[in-house]
Amino acid sequence: MKNIVYISLILLLFTACKPTSNIVTSKEVAVKKGLYTEPKNLAVSEVKSAEKKKKNQNKDLTQKQNTSKKTGGVNHKNDEDIVIESEDASYLIKQLINSASDNLGVNYRPGGTSKSGFDCSGLVYSTFKKFDITLPRSSHEMATVGTKVDLSDAKKGDLIFFINRGRRINHVGMVVEVSHDEVKFIHSSTQSGVIISSTKEPYYNRTFVQINRVLM
């Protein structure tokens, strides 16, 4: 009986002291945390079909890039913003997150847009491109697309921007989870490649700049 008690205490101590981390570096960990599920074979075709149906219903709801460069900031919602609404947007966002998360663990590569390596904007650009949404190629230009929202209003699928050197935006990721005052985002970091990080981490909390919503 005493042996059973000792073993139970040891197991309890081990699990209580097991370290946890906000950083997700692999698909296996993302699956366990509920951030990623294997994408269905027909996911892309289903999304395209939904988008086509939406376009037929309302020509004003199209996927267009905001090309206005009058200011360095983000414009308010207008006819040139990328707009996908309600049910279509919800389904599309799930597929975007799955598609990006499928690259967890891929190395960082300057100018990269494939599984051989991604830079930060390359990951976001290629992810959206899979679903026929063309964003600007650089993080600085991406920051001019869509509608700027407060960090407290962040939602899955939003773009999150940082300045880690210089004076202008030079890093971007995509929001994959929001809980209370924490935002988790997938991005390609120079040191770790494609990972999921958190705004709770001091570095990203310090370098955070803004969040843009491109899918309504």
Counting residues of the chain whose pLDDT is more than 70, the rounded percentage is 59
- What is the Cα–Cα distance from 54 to 75, expressed in whole angstroms? 24
35 near 23, Cβ under 8 Å?
Answer: no
Structure tokens at 153: 């209003």
Q: What is the pLDDT of residue 25?
A: 64
Q: How confident is the model at residue 180 (pLDDT cuts 50, 70, 90)?
A: confident
What is the distance between the alpha carbons of residues 40 and 112, in angstroms, rounded to a whole number?
25
pLDDT score recorded for residue 131:
96
Active site residues: 120, 171, 187
Q: Per-residue pLDDT for 115 more than 70?
A: yes
Residue 146 tokens read as 């869509």
- Determine the pLDDT at residue 193: 98
* Predicted confidence (pLDDT) per residue in 33-48, tens digit: 566 565 544 444 454 5
- The whole-number average pLDDT for the span 120-141 is 98
Does the pLDDT at position 103 exceed 60? yes
For residue 91, list its beta bridge partners.
none
Tens of pLDDT along 52-67?
A: 544 444 344 334 444 3
Higher pLDDT, 114 or 69: 114
What is the mean pLDDT of the segment spanning 112-129?
98
Question: Tens digit of pLDDT for each residue in 69-94?
Answer: 333 334 334 444 444 444 567 899 99
Which DSSP string corresponds to the chain?
-HHHHHHHHHHHHHHHH----S-B-SHHHHHHTTS--PPPTTHHHHHHHHHHHHHHH-TTS-B------SSSSPPPS-TTSB---HHHHHHHHHHHHHHHHTTTTPPB-TT-EETTEE-HHHHHHHHHHTTT----SSHHHHTTSSEEE-GGG--TT-EEEE-SSSSS--EEEEEEEEETTEEEEEEEETTTEEEEEETTSHHHHHHEEEEEE---
| CA 19 remoteness from chain centre | 25
Query: Above 70 in pLDDT, residue 206?
Result: yes
Per-residue pLDDT for 17 more than 50?
no
CA distances to 83, 121, 139 from 207, in Å: 28, 16, 14
